């Protein structure tokens, strides 16, 4: 196996649209799992636009990601909450809801939680 691998999120292996035209996830598959770039449009909310796909009460994916643009509020099932924005590194445990804050698309690169995220 090669020790150098090159993939581009500009030509993803898979694109997964969110419900209601509220954005999409672009995924490249690597040996260690999927890496993805999600674009969440203003108005996107996990409990409205991914929950129908996931069929769980809250997001059960663990995320390790980096916020490129926009803002997102995340509320854990136990009530803990945080807002993320450009330049933020985020670790999110399973069991949360999230939504875009403001009028700018929120773009996040995640290298942990997108293997099955929004997968039909």
Q: Would you say 59 and 46 are in contact if contact means Cβ atoms under 8 Å apart?
A: yes
pTM: 0.92
Q: Would you say 45 and 98 are in contact if contact means Cβ atoms under 8 Å apart?
A: yes
Q: Is residue 46 part of a domain?
A: yes
Q: Is residue 9 part of a domain?
A: no
pLDDT band at residue 114, thresholds of 50, 70 and 90? confident
Average pLDDT over residues 50-73: 95
What digits encode the pLDDT tens for the residues 75-90?
A: 999 999 999 999 999 9
Q: In the sheet that 71-76 helps form, which strands lie side by side, from edge to edge?
A: 81-84, 71-76, 96-101
CA distance 15 to 29: 11
How many domains does one find in the chain?
1
CA distance 91 to 113: 10
Q: Is residue 94 part of a domain?
A: yes
Q: Is residue 98 part of a domain?
A: yes
CATH number at residue 85: 2.60.120.10
pLDDT of residue 115: 81
Q: Is residue 4 part of a domain?
A: no
What digits encode the pLDDT tens for the residues 14-36?
A: 999 999 999 999 999 988 889 99
CA distance 45 to 29: 25
Q: Which domain holds residue 90?
A: 14-110
């Amino acid at each position: 196996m090669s020790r150098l691998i090159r993939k581009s999120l500009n030509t993803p292996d898979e694109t997964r649209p969110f419900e209601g035209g509220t954005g999409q996830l672009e995924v490249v598959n690597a040996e260690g799992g999927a890496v993805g770039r999600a674009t969440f449009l203003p108005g996107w909310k996990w409990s409205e636009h991914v929950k129908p796909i996931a069929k769980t009460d809250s997001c059960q994916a663990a995320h390790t990601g980096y916020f490129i643009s926009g803002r997102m509020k995340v509320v854990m099932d136990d009530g803990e909450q945080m807002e993320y924005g450009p330049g933020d590194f985020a670790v999110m445990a399973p069991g949360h809801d999230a939504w875009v804050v403001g009028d700018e698309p929120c773009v996040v690169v995640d290298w942990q939680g997108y293997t099955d995220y929004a997968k039909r």
